[in-house]
Chains A and B, each alone.
Chain A
Amino acid sequence: MSLFLKSLKELPPFGQALGMVLDEADSEPGVAVLLPGAEHLSGHADDGVFHTGVILATIDNTAGWCIRDHRDYAEGTSMATLDLRVDFVNPASLSETLRVRAVCEGFDGDIAFVRATAETTTTKVLIATGQATFMLGTPSTPNPATASKVVGGAVE
């Protein structure tokens, strides 16, 4: 985990509302986020499992963070999710805490590719896998890492 993420404690409001916590003890590649079960995250009152949307939201958040943690990321560059696919492999009981890990697989100029998994922390059951693509920078505020390469013009 980079120095940047170690200093990052500020969750987006929705991450805070769900109860996401950065897993600072994690030493494996990428970024890991913990999500303890809670009543408002329940998908079905009778079943006591995490709602699929909650798992998806945590994957989305962690995927974004692992890009900001990447060595090629220029701090402050805006980031937009282009697409996200999630496979819900197993339901997860709310008595568990989820660990979502996201790894940036590739960084090609303004596009970043991420893979993520969600598993239960005690039983280590695979809950979901995800795959996301992100776009860095906007036309008005380009990604500083690629801004000098003008498309169709002279490369400075």
Chain B
Amino acid sequence: MNKLDQAGWAMLNLDLAQQQLMKMPYAGFLGVELRVGPEGLETITVDRADLIGNTNLPALHGGVIGSLLDITGLLTLVFLKSLDNAPRLVDMDIDYLRSGQARPTYGRAEIVRGGRRIANVRALLWQDDPERPIAIGRLQFLLPKAKV
């Protein structure tokens, strides 16, 4: 693929990911936004008082971190595999590496293996430095049935 094709492909698939994001009220409530960076699709979520779990630190709720890994994994799958329908999360496993500060959180994901029915995805979240992730997730998705 030449550079121009690649840019066109990214725009088309960003549009698919945006469509899935708009159909996901919970992601809208969290305030998740999308962009395409040098490494591919990225989610951005701005911190807000009602996303906090520990008010003393303060730190993002562990459930917010898990949810952002889930949403980042799903939308990356839509983006990379040009899906028209949302895959279904079967299970996920989160390692919490650092506490999530009250500041913007970025996410990205990669497909470890994309089969016909199941995709194994690895997602990560970071705040100041992608090399210092606050959490990583291993996610298994059931892919939507291909159109016959």
Contacts and interface: CB of A to CB of B under 8 A. Distances in A.
A123 B50 CA distance: 31
B86 interface: yes
A61 B63 contact: yes
B54 to A, nearest CB: 7
Contacts of B92: 52, 56, 85-86
Interface residues of B, number: 35
A15 interface: yes
A148 B87 CA distance: 50
* Interface-central residue, A45, A46, A81, by most chain B CB under 10 Å: A81
Contacts of B71: 53
Interface string B34-71: 00000000000000011111110000111110111011
Given A39-B25, A40-B29, A13 B66 contact: no
Nearest to A84: B94
A87 B89 CA distance: 9
B99 interface: yes
A45 B21 CA distance: 10
A78 to B, nearest CB: 8
Interface of B: 23-29, 49-55, 60-64, 66-68, 70-71, 86, 88-96, 99
8 smallest A-B Cβ distances: which pairs? A57-B63, A53-B67, A14-B61, A51-B26, A17-B50, A42-B25, A40-B29, A60-B62
